[in-house]
Amino acid sequence: MTTEDFKNNLMPVKHKLFRLANRLLSNRQEAEDAVQEVYLKIWNMRNELEKYTNHEGLMMTMTRNLCLDKLKSKKNKYPGLNSYNTIEQTPDPYEQVVLSDTVKRVKEAMQELPEQQKTIIHLRDVEGYELDEIVHITGFDLNYIRVNLSRGRKKIRESIQKIHAYETGRS
């Protein structure tokens, strides 16, 4: 693989890799480092890449595994949310605040999920991967992915509903 092929074929996924790493590590700098490590590993194995049919899936798997290794080795438990804002500008400031608050609460609820559910929901709902692609990336069984996706979404929904009920005074 030439440098030009590398840039054209593998560089466009860097944002997806970063979002996954940032979601798992909850730390922007460590996520950037993880993505750089993955690209370095891919570059070092560039002559062997023709063995793989799905380069993006390979890189997502490498990113996920690297982040999970970092979490295990450092017991890395950074509180907080991503430092970048994922909300597009809306003309009405009130709507913008409500939307921002909702996104913040969903991210907080996602942080409370077990690692597998957090990863599956991120890959499906944030990155937009199909279930069969998630099977390839994670190595999990399709039924396991479906069950954990459903359970994770249910926990997030219940968390948001509980907060909303508390704020509005409804039980």
Tell me which residue has tokens 């390839």. Answer: 136
Q: Which CATH architecture has domain 91-171?
A: Orthogonal Bundle (1.10)
Distance CA 64, CA 153 (A): 20
Q: What is the pLDDT of residues 31-67, one digit of tens each?
A: 999 999 999 898 888 888 888 888 888 898 899 889 8
Decide if pLDDT at 85 tops 70.
Answer: no
82 vs 63, higher pLDDT: 63
What does the CA dihedral 68, 119, 61, 74 come to, rounded to 10 degrees? -10
**Which of 42-56, 58-72, 101-115, 143-157 is predicted most confidently?**
143-157
pTM over 0.85: no
Q: What is the pLDDT of residue 91?
A: 58
For residues 91-109, give the mean pLDDT. Answer: 80
CA angle 80, 147, 116 (to 5 degrees): 35
Mention the CATH class of domain 1-76: mainly alpha
Domain residue extents for the chain: 1-76, 91-171
